[in-house]
Amino acid sequence: MSLRQSIAVAGRMPRSLPFRFASLGLLVSIAACSDSSGPSSPTGIQKIQHVVVIMQENRSFDSYFGTYPGAEGIPMQNGVPTVCAPDPELGSCVRAFHDSADENQGGPHTASNAVRDIDGGRMDGFPVEAEKSMGVTCNVLGKPSCPPTGPTDVMGYHDQREIPNYWAYAKNFVLQDHMFEPNASWSLPAHLFMVSEWSAICSQVDNPMSCINALDKPQSTGSFGTKVPQPNYAWTDLTYLLHQHNVSWKYYVAEGTEPDCDDDEMTCPSKPQSAGTPEIWNPLPFFTTVRQDNQLGNIQTVDHFFADVQAGTLPAVSWVIPNGELSEHPPALVSRGQAYVTALTNAIMQSPLWSSTAIFLSWDDWGGFYDHFTPPVVDENGYGLRVPGLVISPYAENGFIDHQTLSFDAYVKFIEDDFLGSQRIDPRTDGRPDPRPTVREDVPILGDLTQDFDFNQAPQPPLVLPGGVRP
């Protein structure tokens, strides 16, 4: 046991041990350690009374932090990338390059694209997959010439010049350079994993034992022009355990549109998104447990997030989901997404809630963008490719780069350890069996997010940054 863990355990011991005895008709109380007149202050992980998961869209780690000092980023020599990927249109290999564009294209990002991008660990399929999806032809007779970096921008990366606030959070709090999408697939499975640790398809309504694994094609929401039955996500999700333990939660959704696709296309026509309309970024309304626990009302618009922060009524667990414009999902502007995340973070930092909050910021999948690091395999679903991960909290280690292997499973594990006495979404113990292949929180390779915190340090002050813009 580490010193930090020892201190945390010791902090949970009673602050006083009262012994009562009668002598000559007098009742005497002796406090063995200290005054027991009031409740003890929270210690260790219990200092975090609010967990906020902000989930953005479609960026790989290398595309945002590939040149961040000290992180395991794009391999370079003398500031020049040493890795490249074959580009069929160029007829040569294209190296990673700095991309100052605010609007990007990205690439396709289904399970099959993940396999071909990873290419057996060579991590060189990104331009090929993007150009297949684009149907582009250049550098041939009668066609325009490709630019030196190729017709696709998947090998491009941003740095502090384009995303200064994200880099400021990394510099002042924690950057995770081995955060992986929990599933090697696209947005809907990623969001299902985020709230339930599984992506499945169920043959019987409300029967969790009828569900089978579905890495790429969980029941479609029918939002892409297809006529399918209404999805039923019958397996167990985290809100079931939160409800069982009387732990408050909300899922905040920015209303507008969402652009993601359930096929091999990079983009598709926008579809409406609202708190009351289940979508690929808002799957909880289709979960059996949410409906049976009468908690559909916990899924609210993002303006309620700002109101709850201001009122001091933020729940213990929050997920915050963007709309298409705010998401950073191509073709959404990088700057607009950063401004939205800054507004969310500033709101917490400028409230009394800052002292007891941990913000976990990530991006749901790699969006077809290049990353050089081969993801580990923990089961048939993943891990997927690396994505950026940030921890922002007064107890976060200052300027720390976490090299642990992590995925969104670590968020669920932290929430369970903080609020649920370490109860897992485990068919053997959670009282609601389902046939999920893996209890993801207990995978041995998964790191521990408490290592990103020093609960004994003087709390860091707020870092209120410019440029925050609310929806």
Q: Provide the domain count of the chain.
A: 3
User: Do the domain assignments include residue 462?
Assistant: no
Q: Judge if 414 and 435 occupy the same domain.
A: yes
Say yes or no to pLDDT of 13 above 70: no
Task: Compute the distance between CA of residue 300 and CA of residue 250 in angstroms, rounded to an integer.
Answer: 7
For range 265-291, the mean pLDDT: 81
Q: Judge if 368 and 429 occupy the same domain.
A: yes
Q: Judge if 108 and 192 occupy the same domain.
A: no
Single residue among 94, 123, 157 that ends a domain in this structure: 157
Is the CB of residue 419 less than 8 Å from the CB of residue 50?
no
Residue 312 C-beta-side C-alpha neighbours within 13 Å: 4
71-95: pLDDT as tens digits: 999 999 999 999 999 999 999 999 9
Burial label, 288 (beta-carbon count in 10 A; 0-12, 13-18, 19+): buried
127-143: pLDDT as tens digits: 999 999 998 888 888 88
Distance of CA 39 to the CA centre of its chain: 34
- The pLDDT of residue 21 is 30
Residue 27 confidence class, pLDDT cut points 50, 70, 90: very low
Please give the full DSSP string across 392-437, using - where no structure is assigned. E-TTBPTTEEE-S-EETHHHHHHHHHHHSTT--S-TTTSSS----S
380-402: pLDDT as tens digits: 999 999 999 999 999 999 999 99
Q: Judge if 343 and 269 occupy the same domain.
A: yes
357-371: pLDDT as tens digits: 999 999 999 999 999
- The pLDDT of residue 323 is 95
Q: Judge if 327 and 183 occupy the same domain.
A: yes
Which amino acid, residue 253?
Answer: V
**CA neighbor of 471 nearest in space, from 266, 284, 274:** 274
- The pLDDT of residue 368 is 97
User: Do the domain assignments include residue 471?
Assistant: no
Q: Judge if 175 and 255 occupy the same domain.
A: yes
Single residue among 122, 157, 192 that ends a domain in this structure: 157
- The pLDDT of residue 38 is 56
pTM for the structure as a whole? 0.89
Give residues with Cβ within 8 angstroms of 306, minimum separation 6.
Answer: 347, 470
- The pLDDT of residue 258 is 81
Where in the sequence is the domain holding 34, given as residue range(s)? Answer: 1-40
Q: Judge if 342 and 381 occupy the same domain.
A: yes
